[in-house]
Structure 1
């Protein structure tokens, strides 16, 4: 009798879990066709090893995180010689000599001893046909990021928080890496206290990517600017990347927010840049980068774009909004600025690039809804 009741209770709990597991909303923009793990039966990893296994295997998976997965110390630590490009004052990042970065680019910087957590250096391998979901505000990965590469495709990451990747060290780890992949949707994700890039698209093609409703939190006790504003934020420089970047909140950043180059076509729409370093900048657009920026709000962001860039930018104003219609099928929305510099750019080659691509462009909403992203973006809000 007791055993029967227990089995019924387990079944009820299982059904309740299954009923609560679902991707929220629908993807839009370049990765609109992503399905992730689809209708696969949800799995609930309990250990870091199980999480690694589920993410990296060859099965279509819906993986649900119901707690914090702490990878710090799971792979040991390394003590080595690094460098201090900005000094060793309180709040300054020092650097791991990853890929001989100190040796090749910071040879004049003082040498320092660094002890870092090995787990943060490279992310968990994510295979094809995966959906990774956090339950409520419980889905936290600490001390290790995610890596979608080597031909992986059709991946959804939603409602999780990645944090504490050797934040005191440049090259301490990237939160989410994409390289040689396709069809990836990153939604309602928070990244914080990251050693280097929050989201990085590597040199190989990352294909169709949509990054939506994310909280890119650069506030940290350590930074390259020694003032709590993180420099390494978003790096979009793959050889053939089509990136929709919509409804994201980017704050406490001093640079590379984002850096765009390589062969990247970026649609930056309805994002909020706020409370960023007064001595830093947001966009860096290098040769090969094409940026259509519309409906964004810049608050307390002194320099929306680094000067001297040689990439192509089309920043929509009220007088140019109608120019978009013959290229993307609708008028664009003007960007707005408050206690900020302006984002310049009227390079029509950007619009030509969008027209030649010809599909899956995200809609743009009025900027009146964008200021609310400071409380609605990131994990735990859906």
Structure 2
């Protein structure tokens, strides 16, 4: 009997091992070396209360999501004033704001939970299984010195998308060594990704799907305007292999003192503009990216930029240790070719630099491989 019990225990342990989940791949770019929850035994939160507790405690964890965690109605509603800044049409976003000046306004009701993100603690891995790992009605934020975090293969969606200031999907301020990979964001009230003023360093955003096809928008045409707000005083961000679809602006808003390496991303069907930013300290290298069906490349940009025009590829060696890849523009109004500033290339010293493929290769591979549900985390 004892041997049978031992055998049964061993069998159960093997089944658990076979059914476990693990991070796929490693972070490229500035978040290189991040380990998240490491080898911690997987945790499977039963409900939103347990999920929030696991995300915010001081225990290194691998948190596995196999279902939808819907926070939307969990904290009740807020009633307040909204401005009809972009019109009163049924598809127009409204902005939560007390004083609308001469702009028409009205009273409205929205969910409270999406307006308050979960502040994720250090040393966490958040891992979705298949396309089942979904967080609705609550965003994630990395702040207060949070470090060493991996988020892979999940969806974050539906954060009061009718209302600007209704909720951000993913936020950073005063954080470091964070890798967001194969994440789908959809229907935030405001930003898909937002960086606050306090520096966030060692950040890699890779293989993510920014789905800007929204019921409500500032242009009242279902193109989401609020996508990447980068205003940190000294942020370091690698943006690689991401797919930006049906956006209208801030894609990104490259501002503050941000250092950005944008490589092999695909922008498709942009109804407004891609790049903006009013700060002279912002810096970015754009290489190997694809811009397809773009209404306008740039609204207004005051920072320094290297857009890799043809013939300038070798200039990147001092910054990246290799030649850059040229960008591709298809049915795009404008380009980044006029931006050839290399004065900030020394700022990349000591950082891990993401690899690159040609823009043509990115055009075929990125859209079909970006977002949640694409990779298999089961081992």
Unaligned runs of 5+ in 2: none
Computed over aligned residues only, the root mean square deviation of the Cα atoms, in angstroms, reads 1.7
Q: What is the match of residue 303 of structure 1?
A: 296
In the alignment, which of 267, 284, 288 is matched to residue 276 of structure 2?
284
- Quote how far apart the aligned CAs of 1:126 are: 0.3
Q: TM-score, normalised by structure 2?
A: 0.93
What is the rounded CA distance, in whole Å, between the counterparts of 1:293 and 1:108 in structure 2? 40
What is the rounded CA distance, in whole Å, between the counterparts of 1:8 and 1:327 in structure 2? 53
What is the rounded CA distance, in whole Å, between the counterparts of 1:7 and 1:70 in structure 2? 35
Q: What is the match of residue 125 of structure 1?
A: 119
Q: What is the match of residue 15 of structure 1?
A: 17
In the alignment, which of 338, 343, 358 is matched to residue 349 of structure 1?
343
Asked if 1:324 corresponds to 2:316, the answer is: yes
C-alpha deviations, 1:252-272, integer Å up to 9, x for none?
111000111111000000000
What is the rounded CA distance, in whole Å, between the counterparts of 1:348 and 1:35 in structure 2? 33
Q: What is the match of residue 379 of structure 1?
A: 372
Q: What is the match of residue 55 of structure 2?
A: 55
Structure 1 runs of 4+ with >3 Å offset: 3-13
Aligned 8 A contact 1:314 1:350 in 2:
no
Q: What is the match of residue 176 of structure 1?
A: 170
**Which one has more relative contact order, counting CA pairs under 8 Å at least 6 apart?**
2
Q: What is the match of residue 152 of structure 2?
A: 158
- Quote how far apart the aligned CAs of 1:12 are: 5.3
What is the rounded CA distance, in whole Å, between the counterparts of 2:39 and 2:260 in structure 1? 30
In the alignment, which of 176, 198, 208 is matched to residue 202 of structure 2?
208
Which piece of structure 1 moves more, 321-330 or 204-213?
321-330
Aligned 8 A contact 2:318 2:345 in 1:
no
What is the rounded CA distance, in whole Å, between the counterparts of 2:189 and 2:327 in structure 1? 31
Q: What is the match of residue 67 of structure 1?
A: 67
Distance 1:71 1:323, change over 3 A: same
Q: What is the match of residue 96 of structure 1?
A: 96
- Quote how far apart the aligned CAs of 1:302 are: 2.3
- Quote how far apart the aligned CAs of 1:318 are: 1.8
Asked if 1:44 corresponds to 2:44, the answer is: yes
C-alpha deviations, 1:128-177, integer Å up to 9, x for none?
00000001111000111101111111110000000000010000100001
Aligned length: 368
Q: What is the match of residue 76 of structure 1?
A: 76
- Quote how far apart the aligned CAs of 1:8 are: 7.7
Aligned 8 A contact 1:63 1:130 in 2:
yes
- Quote how far apart the aligned CAs of 1:204 are: 0.7
In the alignment, which of 351, 362, 372 is matched to residue 370 of structure 1?
362
- Quote how far apart the aligned CAs of 1:6 are: 9.0
Aligned 8 A contact 2:64 2:127 in 1:
yes
Asked if 1:238 corresponds to 2:232, the answer is: yes
C-alpha deviations, 1:23-49, integer Å up to 9, x for none?
101101111021111111110111000
What is the rounded CA distance, in whole Å, between the counterparts of 1:261 and 1:68 in structure 2? 34
- Quote how far apart the aligned CAs of 1:351 are: 2.2
Q: Within 5 Å, which residues of 2 pair with 1:224-235?
A: 224-235=218-229
Unaligned runs of 5+ in 1: none
What is the rounded CA distance, in whole Å, between the counterparts of 2:153 and 2:297 in structure 1? 28
- Quote how far apart the aligned CAs of 1:374 are: 1.7
In the alignment, which of 310, 330, 340 is matched to residue 338 of structure 1?
330
- Quote how far apart the aligned CAs of 1:273 are: 0.4
C-alpha deviations, 1:102-127, integer Å up to 9, x for none?
52xx4221111121111100211200
